[in-house]
Chains A and B, each alone.
Chain A
Amino acid sequence: MNATLLMTTMLAAPEDGGGGSFAKLMTIAIGAVLINNFVLMRFLGICPFLGVSKQLDSAVGMGAAVIFVMTLATLGSWTVYHLLLAPMGLTYLRTIAFILIIASLVQLVEMVLQKFSPALFNALGIYLPLITTNCAILGMAVLNIEEKYNLGESLVHAVAAGIGFTLALVIMAGIRGELNEEDIPKPFRGTAITLLVAGLLALAFMGFSGLVPS
Chain B
Amino acid sequence: MRLAAVFTNGIYRENPVFKLTLGMCPFLAVTTSVENALGMGAASTFVLLCSNFLVSLFRNVIPNKVRIPCYIVIIATFVTLVDMVMNAYVPALHKSLGIFIPLIVVNCIILGRAEGFANKNPVMASLADGLGMGVGFTLAMVLLATFRELLGNGTWLNVNVLGEAFHNQPLLIAILAPGAFILMGFIMGTFNILESRGGER
Which of B's residues lie within 8 Å of A, judged by CB? 21-22, 24-26, 28-29, 68-69, 72-73, 76-77, 79-80, 83-84, 99, 102-103, 105-108, 111, 173, 176-182, 184-186, 188-190, 192-193, 196
Contact = CB atoms under 8 A, between A and B. Distances in A.
10 contacts: A40-B177, A95-B79, A100-B73, A103-B72, A142-B102, A186-B196, A192-B188, A199-B182, A202-B178, A202-B181
How large, as a class, is the contact surface on chain A? 35 or more
A145 to B, nearest CB: 10
A99 B72 contact: yes
A196 B185 CA distance: 5
B185 A100 contact: no
B84 A92 contact: yes
Interface centre among B22, B83, B185 (most CB of A within 10 A): B185
Contacts, number: 117
A165 B25 CA distance: 14
A138 B80 contact: no
A68 B154 CA distance: 43
Contact of A191 (B21, B76, B108): B21
A188 interface: yes
Contact of B111 (A41, A92, A133): A133
Contacts of A103: 68-69, 72
Given A103-B69, A192-B189, A195-B185, A95 B179 contact: no
A43 B177 contact: yes
A92 B152 CA distance: 35
B72 A138 contact: no
Contacts of B108: 47, 133
B178 A46 contact: no
A43 B189 contact: no
A187 B192 contact: yes
